Amino acid sequence: MERIYLDNAATTPLDAAVIEEMVNVMNSYYGNPSSIHAQGREVRTLIEKARKTVAGLLNATPAEIFFTSGGTEADNTAIRCGIAAFNIKHAITSKIEHHAVEHTLNMLLQQGVIDKLSFVNVDEKGNIDYNHLEELLKNNERSFVSLMHANNELGTLTDIERVGDICEQYNAIYHCDTVQTMGHYVHDVRKLKAHFIVCAAHKLHGPKGVGFLYVNHSIKISPMIFGGAQERNMRGGTENVYGIVGLAKALQIAYSEMEQHQNHIQELKTYLMDRLQNEVPDLFFNGETAPEKSLYTVLNVSFPAMDMADMLLFNLDINGISASGGSACSSGSNIGSHVLTGIAADPNRPSVRFSFSKYNTKEELDFVVEKVKQIVSQNVTA
């Protein structure tokens, strides 16, 4: 059975050109980039070339780009080191952020590093209340703000330029989790007033285990991981050279083909929405779905209450369809999606996140719709 992969928000398949680039480095370059001999200098050149490529695409300087093991490390570094650098005692986030943000801030609160953690209001579609954000900033001391660009479960987009303007007005430090949108939208850091943005290469057809943290040149932080002098003394440990080269290549491809892929994937998303709405009763979508308000790679579908709702993903899986999802937490009795709970979703309705890539086709979606109709009709609660 040829499987249909619709879980690209979790990870994406490697682009063939990225594999080729990485294999070339694996075969030909083996020196330690910290070594001063010829083999070491060759590998150091590869890393700095990749850094320059990434910086150029973001309109950053190479000195603002630090390679990490992925988005989680980048988020942790930004939050922990950003708060420490400015001795900030008040942080602001939302209840629908990725756990890399939510758990880190909660840990800092429990440890007494920060005295107060505020949650900005979000509506039933996952939209940030910008007026409430401004109130929180106005009524507290200097704050650290961590709000993502696109929610990884809902796809709802936040106007991060507007958040940046508000943070600048109140002298706040702004960290934006851009893991889901890096490579899918243009990020011009000279226009975006964020102090930190992040990337995980495997979300844009690059390798797992590598990412980067952008740190605006206007601020300086101390490292989170200590060791050698790698990453200009900002991140100890021998660099993941193959991964870094693969990341730069994947981001380069993403930017060069961005408009083409946006059009193709948005068309797929709209097509699946239309078919599901027309053919599956009592169904709606979680989060924003309008193209200007929603990440085009993500569609979160709320299905009618059904018998054995927790088996919905399993039934899709045995029919060759890979997706993800869950339901809202019900009074703490189950461990569901904190994001769906955060928007007050009905815990009795199962949700599925279908997330697309440039490799998906309408023919695949036709198969998905037929299987979904079959599963729902067999299991829906009378």
Supply the residues annotated as catalytic. 329
Q: Name the amino acid, one letter, at 104.
A: T
Side-by-side strand order, sheet with 211-215: 65-68, 211-215, 196-200, 173-176, 143-146, 90-93, 116-119
CB 172 within 8 A of CB 90: no
Give phi and psi for 183, each to the nearest 5: 90, -10
Contacts (Cβ under 8 Å, ≥6 apart) of 370: none
Burial 123-141 (b: 16+ CB within 10 A, else e): eebbbbebeebeebbeebe
Burial group, residue 243, by CB count within 10 angstroms (0-12, 13-18, 19+): buried
For residue 4, the number of C-alpha atoms closer than 13 Å in the C-beta half-sphere is 22
- Angstrom distance (rounded) from CA 161 to CA 165: 6
CB 236 within 8 A of CB 1: no
* Angle subtended by helix axes 258-279 and 241-256, to nearest 10: 80
